[in-house]
Amino acid sequence: MGTTNDDGPRTALTRDRVLRAALALADRDGLAGLTIRTLAQELDSKPMSLYYYVATKDQILDGIVDLVFAEVHLPVVGNPWRQEMEHRARSMRAVLARHRWAVGLLESRAAPGPATLRHHDATLGTLRRAGFSLRATAHAYALLDSYIYGFALQEAALPLAGVDSVAEVAAPIMERFADGQYPWMVEIAEGVVMQPGYDFAEEFEHGLELILDAITPH
Partner DNA sequence: CGTCGTTTCGTACATTGTACGATACGCTAC
Partner DNA sequence: GTAGCGTATCGTACAATGTACGAAACGACG
Give the interface with a copy of itself as residue ranges (CB under 8 A): 77, 103-104, 107-108, 110, 117-118, 120-122, 124-125, 128, 134-135, 137-139, 142-143, 145-151, 153-154, 156-157, 159, 177, 181-185, 187-188, 191-193, 200, 203, 206-207, 210-211, 213-215
128-160 as b/e: b if 16+ CB within 10 A: bebebeeebbebbbeebbebbbebbeebbeeeb
d(CA 108, CA 71): 18
Site track for DNA across 48-67, x = CB under 7 A: xx-xxx--xxx---------
Smaller CB distance to DNA: residue 37 or 218?
37
The site partner of 137 among DNA, a copy of itself, none (C-beta below 5 to 8 Å per kind) is a copy of itself
Stretch binding DNA (CB under 7 A), from 44-52, 64-72, 94-102, 146-154: 44-52
Q: Residue 159 — left, alpha, or beta (φ > 0 → left; ψ -120 to 50 → alpha)?
A: beta
Residue 125 Cβ vs a copy of itself, minimum distance, rounded to whole Å: 4
Pairwise CA distance, residues 153 & 207, whole Å: 15
Closer CB to DNA, residue 31 or residue 143? 31
- C-alpha dihedral sign at 189, 192, 198, 200: negative
Residue 47 interacts with, from DNA, a copy of itself, none (CB under 5-8 Å by kind): DNA
Binding partner of 153, given DNA, a copy of itself, none, CB within 5-8 angstroms per partner class: a copy of itself
Cβ atoms 86, 212 nearer than 8 A: yes
Contact of 126 with 75, CB cutoff 8 Å: yes
124 contact choice in DNA, a copy of itself, none (CB below 5 to 8 Å, kind-dependent): a copy of itself
Cα dist from 118 to 27, 51, 70, 124, 125, whole Å: 24, 27, 9, 10, 10
Task: Give yes or no for residue 5 binding DNA (CB under 7 A).
Answer: no
CA contacts within 13 A on the Cβ side of 205: 4
Find which of a copy of itself, DNA, none residue 52 binds, CB within 5 to 8 Å per kind.
DNA
Partner in contact with 205, chosen from a copy of itself, DNA, none, beta carbon below 5 to 8 Å by kind: none
